[in-house]
Structures are given as structure tokens and as C-alpha cells.
Structure 1
Amino acid sequence: MTDTLTRVAPRPPTLVGEAGWGYFPIALTARLPFAMMVVGILTLIVSARDSLALGGITSAMTGVGTALFGPLLGAAADRFGQRRVLLITGTANSLLLIAIAWLAFTTAADGALLALAFLIGATMPQVSPLSRSRLVGIVRRSFEGQRKAKVLSGTMAYESAADEIVFVFGPVVVGLLATTQGPAAPVIGAALLALVFVTAFALHPTAKTPALREGESADQQAPVKQLLRPELLITAVGTLGMGLFFGAMLTSLTAFMAERGVPEQAGLVYGAMGIGSAVFALGVAFLPVRFSLHARWLTFGVVLFTASLGLIMVTTVTAMALCLLVIGIGIGPTLVTQYSLAAARSPWGRSATVMTMLGSGVIVGQSAATALTGIVAEGAGWGIALFAPIGAAAVVLGAGIINARLSRR
């Protein structure tokens, strides 16, 4: 009996078992404030100050803060550990969100709102890239050989889908809170979510997962110049285009709904895009291997651009929702593909930096498009503003074409 028991092979490790069941819902929810902030601030300022242009510029400042400080926070996490950085930024970010929710309805100068928005972006917890870094560390520590490659690939697919789902459904949460609780509710809700779930993410045992294996050092990382390779930069351009689309689509949709007297419901209509997007993003895992990543980007980029052209003919809320439903088919798989390409092309030891670059690309694009589209919508109307997401879709498709050419070269 004893010999039989000793001959039984140990059960192979699983990612869920190594990270713990509780990790994934915590990490997923902790990303939600990141997706709610830009949209929530836009809704708050438009309602409080009655200016779509000011709302767009204020929300764009969060993107500026993230672009400048996001990579620095990643470097700080590498040096001082994720737990310390996340606890500090999560707390500071929550307090700043509550401050802007209060200040927006006072007589404070517009400049004060812009400064607060910048600080909100600068302290935005980098949950997504830090989650990828943790899971990569777990995979490298716990798996070997072909199983390691398979688990790592599945991990990147899950992380990409999680990001995409949160970025699409974040505005839906904003719309629900703004409609039922008032325009300040989404920002206050994001503050509470950040305080609770970013703290839980920081205190989770996986926060101590080393980025490098035992015996390795930071000196073995690829040089910084490897981050500037065209094949890698084009994936960042692709996510920038996706961010441009998110910002342009939501802002022009807000103008479209404001014309009908219900701007606070823009997030709810925007959620129609999330249905097709989420389903097809998760379905990417079932696509055949011979359907290459380059071909996927081109295929779904064409779907995104073609479906966006239908926005020109939209005149009713129902037609808008149907158009967004079709657009979502191109959104999810394209974003998942971009992250998968970036993961495959990441220089040694620089995966967290690469993921931060792509995540910053989304938020910077969203913020910039929100500001520019807001100015256009206020000056020329929602009909002209709806051309902005078409232009953003063209950027995504153009980057996919360049990516295919670089890959062949």
C-alpha cells in the first residue's frame, strides 16, 4: 500500500491553484476604477459645468497624468515592491476622486479641476500591468517546458480579455450610477472601488511574487532600446487607436444623447458595444492556430472600420445601439490580438513595461479623443462628431496593415 502511494505522481500545478481562487475576481474588480475614471469625470464635468468641451479637456488631463507617471509607477513597483506602491497610489487616487466630485459643483476655477484631473491620472493604480507581471512570475516559477508556454499564452489571453471587458463595461457602470444616483456618483463609486479592491489587490499574497526567478538579476534584462523596435511600437500604436476610438465614440455618443435630453444615459447605450465585444474577445481562444495574429488584426480591424461607417446614417437611439452592437464584434478580438502580439514581442524582463505602454496607449488615446471630440461636438454638433470614431477606426486598421508588413519583413 505504501509503495503504491509513493508511486502516485503529484498533481500538476495550475495557475488558479498557484494564484488562489480569490485573486482573479479581486484583480478584475480592481481594474474597474481605471475604466470608470475618464468617463466618470467627463459625465461629472458636463453635468456640473454644462460644457462638453471643458468635460473633454478635464478628462483628457487624466490621460496626460497617466502617460507621464504610469511607467514611473511601474519602475517604482519593481524597485520597492507592488504592495507599497499600490497602497499609496490607491489611497491618494481615492481621495483625489472624492475631491473633484465635490469641487466640480463649487465656484472653483476650471484650472483647479484640470489640476485635480492631472493628479488623478498620475496616481492611477497600474493594476493591469502589475497583474500581468505577477502572473508571469507565477508561471515562470511553477511551470516548465511546453506546459509553461501553454499556460503563459492562456494567461495573456485572459488578461487581455479582462482588460477589454472592463474598458467596455466601465462606461455602463458609469451610466447606471449617473442615471440612478446623480452625476457625481460614478466618480465617488470609482473612489470607493479603488480604496477597497486596489487595497485588496495590494495585500494579496501574490504581490510578493518575484518578477525574476531565483539566480536572475535586473542586469539580465534586455536593454531599454529594445522597447523601441518598430514591431513592438506598432502594437502600442494599435492600442492608442483603440483608445482613440473609445474616447471619440463615447464623447460623440454623449453629444448624440444630449441632443435628445438624456446625456447621462450615454454609458448605457454604449454598453451595446460590449455585448459583441466581450463574446468575440473570449472567443478568440477558440480560433484556429493557422488564423495568425497578423491576419486577425487585419480581419477584425476591417470589421471595426466598416461597421463604424454606419454611424453616419444613425438618427435614432435604437439604430445607434444596433450599430454599436456590430462595432463590438471588431473591438474585442482586435484588442486581444494587440496584447497577444505585444506579449510575444516583449524583450526579456520587460513585459511589465510593455504592458504599461499598451495600457497607457489606451487611456491616452481615450483622453485625447475625448477632449478633441468634445470640442468638435460643441462647435459643430453631434453629426460631425460621429466622424471622429471613424477616423480612430482607420488608425487601428492602418496600424494593422503596417504590423502585417513589418511581420513579413
Structure 2
Amino acid sequence: MASTVTSEPSKTSSAPARPGYGQLLRTRGAWTFLLPGFAARQPFAMLTISIVLLVQHTTGSYGAAGAVAAVTGVAMALFAPYSGRLADRHGQRAVLLPGVLVHSVSGLTLTALALSGAPLWALFAAAVPTGASVPQVGPMVRARWGVKLQGSPLMTTAAAFESVTDELTFVLGPLVATALCTTVDPSAGLLTESALTLIGGLLFAAQKSTQPSVAPATHARVEHVSALRVPGIRVLIVTFLGIGSVFGGMQVSLAAFAESIGEPGLNGVLYGVFAAGNMLSGVVCGAVAWKIAPQRRLLVGYAALALTASGLWAAHSVVVLAGIGLLVGMCIAPALITGYTLVEGLVPPTARTEAFTWLTGAVALGQAAAVTVAGQLEDRLWDGAGFLVPMAGTALALATLVTLRSHLAPPRATRVVTRGVAHREPVAIGEM
């Protein structure tokens, strides 16, 4: 019999209405993968902006810089789900160790080619393995939380905490990369990114005790079902593509805006304000005991994101642009947190890392497309034309989300019930 009683905490219960971050961080063994995971995911936020600033410096074109960064993003988006699937099947360590080595070598190769004035096709060739080998540490950390907290109310708090961690990397990453590229050397950002990937990735891979267990080979055919077959995951992929368009469009357009006013170093500050809004709203979102269903929260939050993103192109001063960027950032975290939270109810644990990497890859793909289009718009049209990309990307994703929102409901559990001799049929548990 399905229960219809709403889970309200008792006033006499000593348990909090919503588990907090303190309780989450006291989870046994959490810090063993959180600290190296934080270091290993920093390069993810540094890669695109480092490539844009390096290639723009060597070629003088935002279009060329955006195209090279886009190739990297597309390669990452295409290979990330397979990386997640391999991690589910063979273990995270088996995927991370070769991945970080390939990424570091590829990043160094791309840097050398750009500085030597190599043709654009050579940069594209180096960008493919650079993007394809980006370690998917964020999804791997989320999968480890899933193992630690299976069935616990702390899972929503963990999703919020991971989103906050992601946004903190997007605060620090662009700031560090921009500072290195503008004050040290145009290649310093990508070189640092490669070094952090290698060191952080190896340290994270060394934490074998907390990685999800690998299913026995005899059950692989039954348990390893692709997350892409779930309709709700496909809807979330489109949703996250729109979020990626915000990241990519703003990275290129903010860099172009800062250069147009003669203050290239301001790019990191403006992007930092945007990411700080994202991080702060993530902290709040994770601390609230939500009574609204996650599907509805995603719709409302995404509508707010599309609305605020539509005002970016009209900002012509640093203060106004920073203010609107802050609002846009504040709308992204709730959408990301809710999207990742929905994954738990949509896919089984054996496909969860793959599902997370599909969403991460969607952000990367949306970012890659946005970087390319925004770069062309900035080169060919007026300063700030690249801000049209986040507006269009979020609007299209919102339309898809509204139309297909019914797919985000978790599937109803079924079981086989005998109805007479030699007669069996699946019946939804909630209907019994």
C-alpha cells in the first residue's frame, strides 16, 4: 500500500527538519575525497578561459579563440559520458589515471602550438584530446556521496554542497586563469591548468576506499543500463545545455567588454561577481528545507534564469553589467542543484556516474557552442553582441523544459503480482 502521508518532522523529534552542511561534512570518510576532489576540479573552470585568452593573444581574433575552445568543449561533452560509463563499470581509478596523464600532455602540446604560431587546424587537432581527457571529478565526487548517503535525507544537502563547490571553482578558476594570463604570461593559465589536473587527479585517484564498488561482470548486462535511455535525463541535458550557454557566452563577452574599455584584468572580476552570485545562492538553496517539488523548483528557477539573462546585452557600464551578472549567477545554482537532485530518482545507482557526466558534458557542450557563436558575434557585430547567446540559449531550453516537464517525474516502482494460475502481470506498487 502506497503511503500518502506527508513527511513532516515531529516537533518532539530531535532530528532537524533539514540536515545541514555541518552534519554532511561529519560523514565518515568524506574529507578523504573532498579535499583532493576540490583540487582536481579547479582546472575544469580554468580550461576554457585559459584557451580563449592564449589563442586570442596569439591570433588577435576572438572568433579563432572561441573556435579552439569550442573544439575542446565538444570533445569533452562527447567523451564525458563514456568516461562516466567506464568509471561505473571498471572503477574511477582505472579511468582517472590514464585520463589525467593524457590531459596534461595534450594541454602542454596545445600551449606549445599556440605560442609557435601553428595553423588553426593544428590547434584544433590538439584541442580534441585536451577536451576528451578532462577528468570528470565533479560527477565522480557526486557518485561517492551517493554511495555514502544511499537513501539518506542528506543527499539533497550533498547535491547543494557539490553545486556550491562547483561554483566556488568557477569563482576561483577564471580569476586565477585571468590573473596568470594577463600579469604573468598568456600561456600561464593553460600551463597551470595542466599541472593542477595532473597533481589533483592523481591524489583523488589514490582514494580507493571511497570510490563506488564495481558491479560483478556476471551482472553487467542487467545492471549497466545507459542513463541516456531515461527520458528525464534527456530533458535535463537540454536544460543544462542552456546553462552552458550562459557560462560560454559570458566568458567571451565579458573578456571582450573588459578589453573594449581598456581594462582586460577586469574580466576576471566581472566573471567572479557572476560566479559569486551563483555560489551564494547555492549555499542558501542547500540550507532551505524545500516544500516545493523539485520539478516545480526547476521550472521556476529556470524561468528566472532566462529572464535575467535576457538583460545582459543591454548593459553598457561596469556597474550595471556586474549587477545583472550577479542576478544571473544567483539563478544558476538553484537550477543546477535541482537538476542534479532529480538524477537520484531517475536512474539507478549503477548508471549514476554516467548520468552526472551527461549533464556535465551538456554544460560543456553548451559552453562550447556559446563560446563559438559569441566569439563570432563579438568580432562581426557590436561590443556586447555575444550576450545575446545566453538569452537565446536559456529561452530555448526553458521552452523545452516546459513542454517536456512530465518526463522529470521519477518512474513509479513496479512489481510482478500473480493474478490466478500461470497469470502474471506488472502492477504499480502505488496502485495496490
TM-score (norm 1): 0.87
**SS, match of residue 18 in structure 1:** coil
Distance 1:133 1:408 in 2: 21
What CA RMSD, in Å, does the superposition of the two structures yield over aligned residues? 2.5
Equivalent runs, 1:85-164 vs 2, <5 Å: 85-140=95-150, 148-164=151-167
Distance of aligned partners of 1:407 and 1:389 in 2 relative to their CA distance in 1, 3 Å threshold? closer
Distance of aligned partners of 1:36 and 1:397 in 2 relative to their CA distance in 1, 3 Å threshold? same
Range that drifts further, 236-245 or 101-110: 101-110
Distance 1:163 1:352 in 2: 16
Distance of aligned partners of 1:59 and 1:72 in 2 relative to their CA distance in 1, 3 Å threshold? same
Equivalent runs, 1:196-275 vs 2, <5 Å: 196-206=199-209, 208-212=211-215, 217-221=219-223, 223-224=225-226, 227-275=228-276
Distance of aligned partners of 1:123 and 1:25 in 2 relative to their CA distance in 1, 3 Å threshold? same
Distance of aligned partners of 1:400 and 1:164 in 2 relative to their CA distance in 1, 3 Å threshold? farther
**Maintained 8 Å contact 2:235/2:408:** no
Distance of aligned partners of 1:340 and 1:175 in 2 relative to their CA distance in 1, 3 Å threshold? same
**Maintained 8 Å contact 1:178/1:264:** no
Larger proportion of helix: 1
Range that drifts further, 313-322 or 130-139: 130-139
2:319 is aligned with 1:309: no
**Maintained 8 Å contact 2:170/2:272:** no
Deviation at 1:272, TM superposition (A): 0.7
Deviation at 1:180, TM superposition (A): 2.5
Counterpart for residue 171 of structure 1: 174
Residues matched between the structures, number:
388
- Which one-letter code corresponds to 2:113 in the other structure? L
Counterpart for residue 60 of structure 2: 50
Distance 2:40 2:26 in 1: 18
Deviation at 1:300, TM superposition (A): 2.1
**Maintained 8 Å contact 1:175/1:265:** no
- Which one-letter code corresponds to 1:166 in the other structure? T
Deviation at 1:264, TM superposition (A): 4.9
Deviation at 1:198, TM superposition (A): 0.7
Deviation at 1:404, TM superposition (A): 3.6
**Maintained 8 Å contact 2:80/2:361:** yes
Distance 1:293 1:193 in 2: 35
Distance of aligned partners of 1:329 and 1:79 in 2 relative to their CA distance in 1, 3 Å threshold? closer
Distance of aligned partners of 1:167 and 1:398 in 2 relative to their CA distance in 1, 3 Å threshold? farther
Equivalent runs, 1:228-377 vs 2, <5 Å: 228-377=229-378
Deviation at 1:371, TM superposition (A): 0.8
- Which one-letter code corresponds to 1:383 in the other structure? G
Distance 2:58 2:263 in 1: 15
**SS, match of residue 152 in structure 2:** helix
Deviation at 1:375, TM superposition (A): 0.9
**Maintained 8 Å contact 1:294/1:400:** no
Distance of aligned partners of 1:63 and 1:17 in 2 relative to their CA distance in 1, 3 Å threshold? same
User: Any idea what the Cα deviations from partners look like across 1:365-395, whole Å, max 9, x if unmatched?
Assistant: 1011101110111011223222122112213
- Which one-letter code corresponds to 2:91 in the other structure? G
Distance 1:287 1:151 in 2: 12
User: Any idea what the Cα deviations from partners look like across 1:103-155, whole Å, max 9, x if unmatched?
Assistant: 21213111111111111011111112222223323334xxxxxxx33233333
- Which one-letter code corresponds to 1:258 in the other structure? E
**Maintained 8 Å contact 2:346/2:408:** no
Distance of aligned partners of 1:296 and 1:168 in 2 relative to their CA distance in 1, 3 Å threshold? farther
**Maintained 8 Å contact 2:33/2:210:** no
**Maintained 8 Å contact 1:164/1:336:** no
For structure 2, the residue ranges without an aligned partner over 5 or more in a row are 1-22, 411-432
Deviation at 1:17, TM superposition (A): 4.6
Distance 2:157 2:384 in 1: 42
- Which one-letter code corresponds to 1:272 in the other structure? V
Deviation at 1:278, TM superposition (A): 0.7
- Which one-letter code corresponds to 2:223 in the other structure? Q
Counterpart for residue 77 of structure 1: 87
Identity level (%): 29
